[in-house]
Structure formats: structure tokens, C-alpha cells
Structure 1
Amino acid sequence: MADIWLLAVIVVSLVFGLMAGVASPATLFLIAAIATYLLDMVTIEAALASFTNASLVTLILLILTTAALEKTSLLGRLSQVIGSDSLPVTMAKLGFSTAILSSFTNNTAVVGSLISVVRRNQTHAPSKLLLPLSYAAILGGTLTLIGTSTNLIVNSFVENAGLTPLGFFEFTQVGLVIVVAGIALLVVLARLLPDTTEGQQDENLPYLLEAKVANHSSLIGSSVQTNKLRALKKLYLVELERSGIRICPVPPQMILQGGDTLRFSGAVESVELLHQFNGLEWFGKQQAKGQNLVEAVLAPSSSLAGSSIKGVRFRERYDAAVMAVRRGQLQLKGGLGDIVLQAGDVLLLTPGDGFSGLQDRNRDFAAVNGLEHNVRLDEPRSHWVLFGFVATIAASLMQWLPLTKGLVLLLISYVAFGAVSINELRRRFPIELVIIVGSALNLAALMLNTGLADNVANGLLDLFGGMGVYAAFIGVYLLTLLLTEMITNNAAAALAFPIAYAMALHFGVDTRPFILAVIFGASASFISPYGYQTNLMVFNAGHYQFSDFVRVGLPLSILYSGIVVLMVPALFPF
């Protein structure tokens, strides 16, 4: 009995700590797990075993493979969705594209990659699309087992309890109805979102970027305006050079020809825009292999000062290609390779393997900063990354190869082919998620073994006045939804699962509907910006207020919940 009370104190303290935000979720879960060990509630062997759970390992591998998927042309081509269509059509196309992508890849990565695409569109205010973008990614995560980390975390609890693991498409029928109905509602509600672009000023960081129209380019034969090369957000076409003749400003109706050199002025994130134009060979592209970009500031004593990029043979000397140059707020002109460098110039580089170890680097550059932006993979690597991922998922579905083994082989091939580096994998390793899931598995097992979950379940039964198993199912779903809005989706799943499992055992019914109540409830974060990571990402990017989430998220949450409480019991009888 003492263990129940001690564990109750630990769990309640954890919940209040998560709600109050006194520390990160990983820190709080780790403290709770350590407390259970110090109080002799669990052995060190049992505690460490939770961190090697099969579903947790699969989740880690999926997140690491996403590092390569983000560099393919797939996400970049979604920028074409944000065109000149009306807001409802654009919202529908963006919503369904995002949902489909999120069903097979990490939805956080999908939203992170598309935020810059949405913010650069010229037709619609980003604030009209960013919040629906996050909601569409959440909805898409309900389609498959790997659609969101929460699904895999719940599956790890299922396996730990000795139950049959969840199938890859086990709850797809419910998810499909949710996606179609949810995005249809978002098409209507998107108009209610504010336009927060008025009064904002873009950061004026005028990098000079240069690109040449290849002879096979699809841009040839169409005008600058038709190719949408003018007035791109934070990227401005300032000059066109043809046969040695420089044209500035560039007429919008000018027809492009093979060999034309285009010069742009823009911010660092504008580099991403160059990837969406087929047949545009930007300066430094040959060195681009999917690596993260680097900003290097020329030191006052740099030997490069007074010389041009071509003159010093920069690529051979530093094993890095210059993609762009910035000189304070001055708008540079002329050929990128012909610019005479000055102390204080900032170079945007695609570094090679030998760049970091060069002795000249520290003498010539006052500061070298890694950026979150990366360049796209070349076409062969991009195709292999996409083909390899699809083949791995297909092999798992056909039961030819376990998903975990397939992902291990896939990740090894990504490293071997240079699609992702060991340093990138080390940087992307989800240590906080590992701590949360491993600690949560310990807590869930203790809640079941000590009887704490039964006590909470009995409390829920009393609350619903013995209205039957269907009312108990709704109670579990609402509890999970409430926890998701107050804390985080992964923490909500961890705390709600043992209660749901105990509730099913109490009624002596199939555990599946109650497990799915936790899965769908943990993904139902629409009203608060803090319950789901993608909501938090767009909260700042779209300059939203809390009331914006309530205005759009509340109707969506009601629709979503109605579908879940009606369809789950119908397809998965008690």
C-alpha cells in the first residue's frame, strides 16, 4: 500500500511539473524514474530494460532516417502547391499533401520543412496556412502506426503488457475519415485566421546568389514572370547577364534562354528557393551533397581580403563552395566569383569533408557558424533515399523483413552513399524522447503492478456513475485528450495507457478500443499551442494568439472527437 501512495505522489508531482513547465519533459520523467529506483520500486535491470524496447528502437531509427528524407526533392516540390489558386483550393492541396507525408514520415520534420515554403508564398498570408498545416500533419499521423511518435510509444506499452502489437494499418479506416472530414473543415475555417503579415518587416540580409539557366532547363522559352522568378519572398532577381551584357532591372516579360546568368539578392533561408526550379544551376551546386550550410565571416587579417573568389581558387583551397556573399546591408552587384572580398564579408558555404580540419580556416575566418539550413541531395542520392525508404516499408508490410532490421540496413546505406553523415545522426539522435519513453515505460509498468492504475480506473468509473463500458471508453479518451492539451502528447499517452488498460480489464472486454482511445486522444491537440510540437512551431512562425487556436482548434477537436467515439467502438467492438 505504501508503494501505491509513493508512486501516486511521484505521478501527481510529474503531472503538475509538466503543467507548470518547471523543467523539460525529459528532465521531469527522468527524475520520476530515478525516484522509483531510489525508493526500491524497481530494479536497475528492469529500469534499463525499458530503454531497449523494440518499438522505441524503431522510433529512433525512423527519426534518424528522416534526416536524409528531409534533404530530398520531395518536400521541396510541395512548394508548387502554394500557387495562385484560391485559399480553399490551396488549403485542400496543402492539407492532403501534408497529411499523406505525415503518415509515413516524422510529422515534426514535415512541418519544419514546409514552414519556410508557406512563409515564402506570394498569394496567401502565411498565417492563413501555417496553423492548418500543423493540424493537417497531426491528422495525417492517425493514418498509420509510424505516423507519429505517439503511436509507436503506445505500441511499446502494448508489447510491454504482453498484448498483440498494433498493425501498421490497423486504425487507418478511422484515420481516413478523420483526415478527409478534418481537412474539409479546415478549408472552411482557414478564413477565420488573421492576416499577421501587415506591419511586419522582413529581415534585410542581402546575400548575393548566382545561378545559371542550364540548356535543358524547363525555364527556357518562358518569361521571368511566367517562371515566377520575380518578387519571391526574401529573394529578389536583381540582374540578368546574357552574352556578357548585364540587364538591370530585369523586365518581367523577358524570355529566358539557356546560359543566362541570374543574380538574386536575399536572406539565408532563400537558398532553399533555388531548389524548386528545374534546370537552375546555382553557384556551388557541384559541392552540394545534402550537408548543412555554414556561414563564415572574413577576419580582418584574412589573406582572402582584396581577392576574388575565383582568383583564390576558393573551392580547391578550402574544400568548400561559396553559395552566396553578404556585405552588411549593402546590395552587391556583378558576378559572384568576381566579387573582391573584404574583411567582414559573410560567405555562405557548402563545406566538404576536409573543411573543418584546415589550418587556414582559423586564420582567414573570424567566425564559422553552422546553420540549420541544408542543401538538397543530388538527384541520384535523392532517388535512392526515397526508393530505399519505400522499399523498407513495403518489405515490412509484406513481412519479408522486420521493420527494425530494414531501417538499420537503410540507415547504413544512407551513410555509405553520403546521404547523411555520422555527425548529423549524432546531432539528430532523439535523446530527450528516449528518456521520456524509457522512463514512461517504467512508470506505466509500476502503475499496473502496484494497483495505482486500478485505483484511478475505479475513480473514473465512479465519476461516470457506472454508465457502462462505452461511457468508460469515452472517459478514457477525454482524459487522454485533456492531458494532451495540458502537457504533451507523449506524456499524455504514457500516463493514460495504464489507466485505459486497467479499465478494459475491469470490464473484462477487449483492450483494443481502449488502446485506440489513448492513441487518438493523445493526437487530439488542437486547442492549445503547447500540447503538440508542431503547434508550437507554427505558433511563433505565424505570430498567432492563443485565441486563434481556440477559434479554429475547438470546432476541429469536436469533429475529431465525434468521429473517434463513434467509429472506434463500431470497428473494434468491446
Structure 2
Amino acid sequence: MSELWVLSSILLVLVVALMAGAWTPAALFFTAALTTYLLGMVELETALASFTNAGLVTLVLIILSTAALEKTSLLGKLSQVVGQGSLASTMAKLGLSTALLSSFTNNTAVVSSLIGVVRRNQSHAPAKLLLPLSYAAILGGTLTLIGTSTNLIVNSFVENAGLEPLGFFEFSMIGAVIVTLGVGLLVLLANVLPDRREESAEESLPYLLEARVAKLSQLIGKSVLDNRLRALKKLYLVELERSGIRICPVPPHLVLQSEDILRFGGAVESVELLHQFDGLEWFGKQQAKGQNLIEAVLSPTSKLVGTSLKVSKFRERFDGAVLAIRRGHHPLKGGLGDIELQAGDVLLITPGDSFSHNAKLAADFVAVSGLDLSVRLDSKRSRWVLGGFVLTIFASLIGALPLIKGLILLLISYVAIGAVSLTELKRRFPIELVVIVGSALSLANLMLSTGLANDIASFILTSLNGFGVFAAFVCVYFLTLLLTELITNNAAAALAFPVAYAIALNYGVDTRPFILAVVFGASASFISPYGYQTNLMVYSAGNYRFTDFLRVGIPLSVLYSSIVIILVPLLFPF
């Protein structure tokens, strides 16, 4: 009994810490699993075996394989649909294409590649398309077993429990209905999202840029108006700081002095406008050598969150200078180097020579766009990468070659033809995901062996007061959905699976419907920008407010949940 209470306490602390964002999910799961080992609740061999689970190995190999897939022309061809035709037809084509691509490649990469294209199109406001783009990528993950890491994580639990693994297309019929009706709903809701192209200059130019008036500058002794600092296209003078005193708004007839600090609100392309002023030292100028700029979205688990550029020593840490920062549609104020960074902030960076090889990029940023803009594979190698991937999946489906062996051979071929390097694979290795899944598998085994999962299942069944197995299935689905919105999808799947499995065993029914309740529930992140990586990526890029997610996400979540609750028991009877 004491062991059960200790495990309950560990899991309770884990859930609270995940919701509070105290540490990264990987650190929290590993600490919880390590604690159970130190307390003698699990043997070392058993704990380590969780990190060599076949499903987990498959997940790692799939993620590494997408490093080459992202370099093919496939994503570039998809971008051609943006801006062609009416808003409804564009959204339909973009949504279905994105969902299809996301069913077999990394949805974060798909969204990252298309954000810039959507923002540059002239026919439709980016805010009309970016949030549907993220939703379509999430919907597409329900089409196949490899559509999202969550599916493969659940499959790891399934194999670990001694059950038959999930099939590659086992739930594709349900996923196809979800994608078709989900994209259809997004088309109908096309006009619900805002068109913020008509907003005032200050609201629509969210990047904060900073520059200092150098000594002997030709700007000194002339007013803001005379220096034409108020007549800049897509650049708005927000604030002037002199001797520590901030002046906002800036009077047009204020005469500039040496060492004045000017802060602007501007679009990405407006950075070039600062170059035309002789004697204006803009933030990060020393590192600029004509290289392409990079946009990077700050991850919720980044160590930079809660610190400033100065405190974190960003330039030394990443070999890159931050030129500007944006935070959704919120105008930022204060010194660029002193702003306390938040999850979802977009940093405009001038990269140094070693920036793209920095191992910390994957841990601190959800997406870094611009790194591979000029590194596309030639047509011959693109065909090999795509053909090899399709052949590997097909060989696995017909039983000619196990998926793990096929993926290992595929990766070796990718390295051999130069489609991906060992350095890239090392950089892309999902160490945090491995730690989360391996630790979660160990905790799930303990929940089942100690009877904790069974006790939680019994509590849920008692609470339902005899409503039956269907009500229990619905409860598992919504429990997973709630956890997904609160603590991210992978953590939700890890905590919900043992409870779902125990409930199915309590009823003595087939476990498949309850497993699929976790699969679909863990992918149902539509209401919060923080529940899923792609939502966070478009949150800043589209200048969205939290209410925008509610406006479109709630109807989509209701439709998605209705389809799952109706079709899963119908196609997978209890």
C-alpha cells in the first residue's frame, strides 16, 4: 500500500509540475522515473529496457528520416497552391495538401516551410490561412501510424503491454473522415478569422528593432522629422531613450543627440531601411556580413524563457546576433537586450558561421526558418529520398521487411548519397523525446504492476455510476484531450494510456477502442496555442490573439470529438 501511495505522489507532482512549466517535460519525466528506481520500486534492467522499446526505436528512425525528406522539392511544390483562387478554394487545397503531407512526414517541418509562403502571398491575409494551416497539419497526423510522434508513442505502450501493435493504416478510415470534414469546416469558417492587414501601422508592424545614434553621425543636430525617421515605409519610431529616460511617443521636432537609442516597430523587410542612415548603429550590426536573416520561434521549454538577451549571453551561446523581437500582435517596449523572453517570441537573427550547427537549437526553438532555404536536394537525389521512403513503408506493409530494418537501411542510403550528413542526424536526434517516452514507459509499467492504474480506473467507473462501457470510453477520450491542452500531447498520451488500458481490462472488453481514444484524444489540440508546437508557431506569425483559437478551435474540436466518439466504437466494437 505504501508503494502505491508513493507512486501516486510522484505522479501528482509530475502532473502539477508539467502544468506549471517548472522544468522541461523530459527533465520532469526522467526525474520521476529516476526517483522510482532510487526508491527501489523498479529494477535497473527493467527501467533501461523501456528505452530500447521497438516502438521508440521506430519513432527515432522516422524522425531522423524526415531530415532528408524536408530537403526535397515536395514542400516547395505544395507552396504553389497558396494565393491561387478564392479564399475558400485556397484553404481547401492548402488544408488537404498539408494534411496529406503531415500523414507521413514531420508536421512541424511542413508548417515551418509554409509559414513564409503564406505570409508573402498577396491575395489573402496571412491570418486567414496560418491557423487553418496548423490545424490541417494536426488533422493529417490522424491518417497513419507515423503521422505524428504521439501515435508512435502510444504504439510503444501497446507493444510494451504485450498487445498487437497498431497497424500503419489501422485508423486511417477515421482519420480520412476527420480530415475531410475538418478541412470542410475550416473552409466554412474562413471569414471568422481576422484580416489584420487593415490595422494601424503600430499594430501591424510587431517587430521591435533598436538602433543607436553613433558619435559624429550626420543625424545629430537634426530633428526626427528632418532626418525623415517618421516617413519610413513599414517602420514606425516607437520610442527614444536618452540618458536612461524613455520618450514615448517621440515628438517629430525632437533634435537627435549622440548616443540616443531609437526603437522601431517594423516588419521583417524593414530591417534593410536602417542601412540607409549613415551613423545609425542598429542592434546586431557588428555581426552582419550580408548573410540571410533567420527567424526562430522560442520553445516553451527553452532555457531562454524568463531571461533576456543580455543575461542569457545569446550571442556567445548561439553565435548569432538578435536584430529584432516580435511577440504576436503585442507591441514591445524597452531595451531589446533587456526584454524578458517568453514562449512563442520570434527572434530575427543574423547568424554566425557556427549558428546552424549549434546543438542547442532544437532544444530552445520550436522552428528555425531560413537555415535550409538554399539547401535543396537536386532532382535525382530528391527522387531517391522520396522513392526510398515509399518503398520502405510498402515493404513493411506487405511483410517483406520489418519497418525498423527498412528505416535503418534507408538512413544508411541517405548518408551514402549525401542527402543528409551524420552531423545533421546527430543534431536532429530527438533526445528529449526518447527521455520522455522511455521514462513514461517505466512509469506506466509501475502504474499497472502496483495496481494504481486499476485503482484510478475503478474510481472513474464508480464515478460513472453504471453508465456502461461507452461512457467509460468517452471519459478516457476527454481525459486525454484535457491533458493534451494542459500539458502537451506526448505527456498526455503517456499518462492516459495505463488508465485507458486498465479500464478496458476492468470491463473485460477489447482494449482497441480505448487505445484509439488515447491516440485521437492526444492529437486534439485546437483550443490553446500552447498545446501543440505548430499552434505556437503560427500564433506569432499570424498576429493571433487567444480568442482566435477559441473562435475556430472550439467548433473544430466539437466536430473532431463527435467523429471520434461515433466512429471508433462503430469500427472497433467493444
Corresponding position of 1:404 = 404
- In 1, distance between residues paired with 2:455 and 2:38? 24
Give 1:201's match in structure 2, choosing from 165, 187, 205: 205
After TM superposition, what 4+ stretches of structure 1 lie above 4 angstroms from structure 2? 202-205, 267-270, 342-345
Corresponding position of 1:329 = 275
- In 2, distance between residues paired with 1:76 and 1:268? 24
In 2 relative to 1, CA 36–202 (structure 1 residues): closer, same or farther, beyond 3 Å? closer
Deviations 1:2-43 (A, max 9, x none): 111011111111111111111111111111111111111111
Corresponding position of 2:148 = 148
Give 2:353's match in structure 1, choosing from 353, 359, 368: 368
Does the 8 Å CA contact 2:447/2:498 hold for their aligned counterparts?
A: yes
- In 1, distance between residues paired with 2:95 and 2:46? 43
Deviations 1:173-198 (A, max 9, x none): 11111111111001111211122344
- In 2, distance between residues paired with 1:472 and 1:366? 52
Q: Is the aligned partner of 1:181 residue 2:181?
A: yes
Q: Is the aligned partner of 1:348 residue 2:291?
A: yes
Moved more, 375-384 or 449-458: 375-384
Matches within 5 A, 1:57-136: 57-136=57-136
In 2 relative to 1, CA 508–91 (structure 1 residues): closer, same or farther, beyond 3 Å? same
In 2 relative to 1, CA 345–7 (structure 1 residues): closer, same or farther, beyond 3 Å? closer
Amino acid at match of 2:571: L
Percent identity of equivalent pairs:
68
Corresponding position of 1:166 = 166
Matches within 5 A, 1:447-486: 447-486=447-486
TM-score (norm 2): 0.73
Corresponding position of 2:498 = 498
Amino acid at match of 2:451: G
- In 1, distance between residues paired with 2:469 and 2:86? 46
Amino acid at match of 1:87: L
For structure 1, list consecutive stretches of 5 or more residues without a partner in the other structure: 206-233, 235-266, 271-325, 332-341, 350-364
Does the 8 Å CA contact 2:291/2:351 hold for their aligned counterparts?
A: no
Amino acid at match of 1:523: S
Corresponding position of 2:438 = 438
- In 1, distance between residues paired with 2:87 and 2:195? 13
Corresponding position of 2:508 = 508
Does the 8 Å CA contact 1:99/1:137 hold for their aligned counterparts?
A: yes
Q: CA deviation at 1:121?
A: 1.4
- In 1, distance between residues paired with 2:121 and 2:389? 29
Matches within 5 A, 1:212-227: none
Corresponding position of 1:536 = 536
In 2 relative to 1, CA 540–343 (structure 1 residues): closer, same or farther, beyond 3 Å? closer
Corresponding position of 2:414 = 414
- In 1, distance between residues paired with 2:207 and 2:563? 44
Does the 8 Å CA contact 1:62/1:407 hold for their aligned counterparts?
A: yes
Does the 8 Å CA contact 2:207/2:268 hold for their aligned counterparts?
A: no
- In 2, distance between residues paired with 1:366 and 1:556? 39
- In 2, distance between residues paired with 1:61 and 1:47? 22
Does the 8 Å CA contact 1:327/1:346 hold for their aligned counterparts?
A: no
Secondary structure in 1 aligned to 2:481?
helix
In 2 relative to 1, CA 77–345 (structure 1 residues): closer, same or farther, beyond 3 Å? same
In 2 relative to 1, CA 438–330 (structure 1 residues): closer, same or farther, beyond 3 Å? same
Secondary structure in 1 aligned to 2:290?
strand
Amino acid at match of 1:368: D
Moved more, 418-427 or 114-123: 114-123
Q: Size of the alignment, in residue pairs?
A: 438
- In 1, distance between residues paired with 2:47 and 2:508? 29
Deviations 1:506-562 (A, max 9, x none): 000000001001101111111111111111111122121111111100011111111
RMSD, aligned α-carbons: 2.7
Q: Is the aligned partner of 1:9 residue 2:13?
A: no
Q: CA deviation at 1:366?
A: 12
Does the 8 Å CA contact 1:327/1:345 hold for their aligned counterparts?
A: no
Secondary structure in 2 aligned to 1:129?
helix
Q: CA deviation at 1:328?
A: 6.7
- In 2, distance between residues paired with 1:345 and 1:15? 44
Q: CA deviation at 1:367?
A: 4.9
Q: CA deviation at 1:203?
A: 7.2
Deviations 1:39-98 (A, max 9, x none): 111111111111111111111111111111111110011111102311111100000000
- In 1, distance between residues paired with 2:119 and 2:411? 32
In 2 relative to 1, CA 32–343 (structure 1 residues): closer, same or farther, beyond 3 Å? closer
Amino acid at match of 2:523: S
In 2 relative to 1, CA 379–328 (structure 1 residues): closer, same or farther, beyond 3 Å? farther
Corresponding position of 2:40 = 40
Corresponding position of 2:329 = none
Amino acid at match of 1:564: V
- In 2, distance between residues paired with 1:13 and 1:65? 36
Amino acid at match of 1:178: I
Q: CA deviation at 1:464?
A: 1.2
Amino acid at match of 1:329: H
Q: Is the aligned partner of 1:566 residue 2:566?
A: yes
Q: CA deviation at 1:343?
A: 9.5
- In 2, distance between residues paired with 1:481 and 1:57? 26
In 2 relative to 1, CA 203–474 (structure 1 residues): closer, same or farther, beyond 3 Å? closer
Does the 8 Å CA contact 2:36/2:42 hold for their aligned counterparts?
A: yes
Deviations 1:385-407 (A, max 9, x none): 11111111111112111111111
- In 2, distance between residues paired with 1:366 and 1:148? 30
- In 2, distance between residues paired with 1:420 and 1:348? 23
Moved more, 537-546 or 503-512: 537-546
Secondary structure in 1 aligned to 2:441?
helix
- In 2, distance between residues paired with 1:537 and 1:188? 23
Q: CA deviation at 1:204?
A: 12
In 2 relative to 1, CA 400–344 (structure 1 residues): closer, same or farther, beyond 3 Å? closer
Moved more, 411-420 or 187-196: 187-196
Amino acid at match of 1:370: F
Does the 8 Å CA contact 2:101/2:140 hold for their aligned counterparts?
A: yes
Deviations 1:126-147 (A, max 9, x none): 1111111111111111111111
Secondary structure in 2 aligned to 1:524?
coil
Q: Is the aligned partner of 1:519 residue 2:523?
A: no
Deviations 1:465-499 (A, max 9, x none): 11111111111111111111111111111101000
In 2 relative to 1, CA 517–367 (structure 1 residues): closer, same or farther, beyond 3 Å? closer
- In 2, distance between residues paired with 1:404 and 1:79? 32
Secondary structure in 1 aligned to 2:355?
strand
Does the 8 Å CA contact 1:327/1:344 hold for their aligned counterparts?
A: no
- In 2, distance between residues paired with 1:503 and 1:548? 36
Amino acid at match of 2:17: G
Secondary structure in 2 aligned to 1:178?
helix
Does the 8 Å CA contact 1:68/1:419 hold for their aligned counterparts?
A: yes
Moved more, 560-569 or 76-85: 76-85
Does the 8 Å CA contact 1:492/1:522 hold for their aligned counterparts?
A: yes
In 2 relative to 1, CA 9–80 (structure 1 residues): closer, same or farther, beyond 3 Å? same
Moved more, 148-157 or 104-113: 104-113
In 2 relative to 1, CA 327–472 (structure 1 residues): closer, same or farther, beyond 3 Å? closer
Q: CA deviation at 1:345?
A: 6.0
